[in-house]
Amino acid sequence: MIMSCETSMKIMTTPSLVSKHPKMGTTIFTVMSALAAESGAVNLGQGFPDFDCDEKLVSDVTAAMQEGLNQYPPMTGVLPLRQAVSEKIKTLYGHQYDVNTEITITAGATQAILTIMLAVVHPGDEVIVLEPCYDSYVPNIDMAGGTVVRVPLTPGTFRPDFDRIQAAICPKTRAILINSPHNPSGMVWRHEDMLKLQEILAPTQVLLISDEVYEHMVYAPLQHHSASSYPGLAARAFVVSSFGKSYHVTGWKVGTVAAPVALTAEFRKVHQFNVFTVNTPVQHGLARYMKDPQPYLNLPAFYQRKRDLFRAGLARTQFKMLPGEGTYFQCVDISELSVPEKNLGESEFCKWLTKEVGVAAIPMSAFYGDSFDQHVIRFCFAKKDTTLNAAIERLSRL
């Protein structure tokens, strides 16, 4: 059929769309990585290792593929991986999760957290986040129709402020989201903090979402305190972790959610129609690799050495370091720098640092709803020593 020019133009016109998410932009990590690449900068912005994972892990996944483990796995994840995860949690944190009804393999922690929100948050429910917080939390709550309640962490130390947490809880509160070790500050919750949270939540129906993706990056003398170790928390918690962080494979996007049977059942209702499941050979490869606990048990020492190397370098610059208790992030205060650009605001300063000094960083303001600016920026030290030394060399010129 021959169409008139006018008709074919109409057919080809994209319907006008009212944005459903008008306030959502592109994540700061994508923006800063693009700017780093464009500027030829050392990228200490987005959190990912610039070194390879263990060759054995690649061989384990390859072997699974070659053995023909390439079709759909069970919706919940392959049994050997659920078993390995359950055993690990039991050994490290003392809680037994049922492999069939309480552990689910996800497409990374990002999918896990969105799926939790979609599964449990009813329109109008309140969800408490502790600011600064990871950038997907708030959009995830919005997508679920929930109301975000922002409670600040204590300024300067980033420690939980339990009076404010307590004050934020009301009959509309559906859940509270915590993250230790904490991105971006690196702060680690203490045993007493977990006990206090357990006490505050005990008389309530509030669910806990515990983002523990950096569980294996806590530096001596501190240790990780998982929500799963506290019976009163475990009974109400979705505990989220990520293989991307623990095994240097952020691009594989595989994570886990451990939660009591009733919570897991609701989680899986959404998970099955969200991603259904996660790629098979990677799951089998991870299960085989997990038989040896050394890789994750060695991780604190591995990253502690990198943190110390990076901090020793930073000590020779004008940047003022904040504590680095956990994660692979190191935050610094820029207010004492001698360059006038320190007054640009964190976000513009990071762009300037990337373009003019050749080191990319992330502004802490990106982790706040109101872009609160405290002259602090975040560096990622999950990098080869040569990368860290190159960054220090550039930062020392300031």
Report the residue number, 242 or 354, with the smaller CB distance to ligand PMP: 242
Is 347 a binding residue for ligand PMP by CB under 6 A? The answer is no
Largest Cα–Cα distance in the chain? Answer: 76
Report the residue number, 47 or 300, with the smaller CB distance to ligand PMP: 47
Chain-centre distance for alpha carbon 50: 17
Is 34 a binding residue for ligand GLN by CB under 6 A? The answer is no
Q: Which of 211, 215, 325, 346 binds ligand PMP (CB under 6 A)?
A: 211
Residue list 95-134, contact with ligand PMP (CB under 6 A): 108-110, 134
Q: Shortest distance, CB of residue 211 to ligand PMP, whole angstroms?
A: 5
Residue at token pair 């021959």 = 2
Separation between Cα atoms, residue 12 and residue 91, nearest integer Å = 59
Residue list 250-279, contact with ligand PMP (CB under 6 A): 250, 253, 255
Of 77, 113, 72, nearest to 97 by C-alpha is: 77
Q: Shortest distance, CB of residue 397 to ligand PMP, whole angstroms?
A: 29
Judged by beta carbon distances under 5 to 8 A according to partner kind, the member of ligand PMP, ligand GLN, none in contact with residue 109 is ligand PMP
Is 244 a binding residue for ligand PMP by CB under 6 A? The answer is yes
Is 279 a binding residue for ligand GLN by CB under 6 A? The answer is no
Separation between Cα atoms, residue 303 and residue 309, nearest integer Å = 10
Q: Shortest distance, CB of residue 46 to ligand GLN, whole angstroms?
A: 5
Task: Tell me which residue has its CB nearest to ligand GLN.
Answer: 47
Task: Tell me which residue has its CB nearest to ligand PMP.
Answer: 108
Report the residue number, 198 or 347, with the smaller CB distance to ligand GLN: 347
Distance in angstroms between the alpha carbons of the first and the last residue of the chain: 68
Judged by beta carbon distances under 5 to 8 A according to partner kind, the member of ligand PMP, ligand GLN, none in contact with residue 280 is none
Separation between Cα atoms, residue 61 and residue 289, nearest integer Å = 9
- Phi, psi torsion values for 328, nearest 5 degrees: -110, 35
Q: DSSP letters of 312-361?
A: HHHTTSSPEEPP--BSSEEEEE-TT-SSGGGGG-HHHHHHHIIIIISEE-
Q: Shortest distance, CB of residue 253 to ligand PMP, whole angstroms?
A: 6
Is 354 a binding residue for ligand GLN by CB under 6 A? The answer is no
> Token pair for residue 226?
């998982």
Is 49 a binding residue for ligand PMP by CB under 6 A? The answer is no
Of 291, 246, 315, 258, nearest to 53 by C-alpha is: 246
Residue list 14-33, contact with ligand GLN (CB under 6 A): 27, 29
The answer to whether 252 touches 243, Cβ cutoff 8 Å, is yes
Q: Which of 39, 43, 46, 354 binds ligand GLN (CB under 6 A)?
A: 46
Separation between Cα atoms, residue 119 and residue 113, nearest integer Å = 10
Q: Shortest distance, CB of residue 344 to ligand GLN, whole angstroms?
A: 21
| DSSP E strands, 107-254 | 126-131, 147-152, 173-179, 207-211, 237-242
Residue list 150-209, contact with ligand PMP (CB under 6 A): 179, 183
Residue at token pair 């972790």 = 241
Separation between Cα atoms, residue 224 and residue 382, nearest integer Å = 19
Report the residue number, 284 or 378, with the smaller CB distance to ligand PMP: 378
Report the residue number, 173 or 183, with the smaller CB distance to ligand GLN: 183
Q: Shortest distance, CB of residue 325 to ligand GLN, whole angstroms?
A: 16
Of 255, 233, 242, 111, nearest to 175 by C-alpha is: 233
Is 244 a binding residue for ligand GLN by CB under 6 A? The answer is no
Report the residue number, 29 or 372, with the smaller CB distance to ligand GLN: 29
* Residue 172 identity: K
Write out the residues near ligand GLN by the rule CB under 6 A.
Answer: 27, 29, 46-47, 183
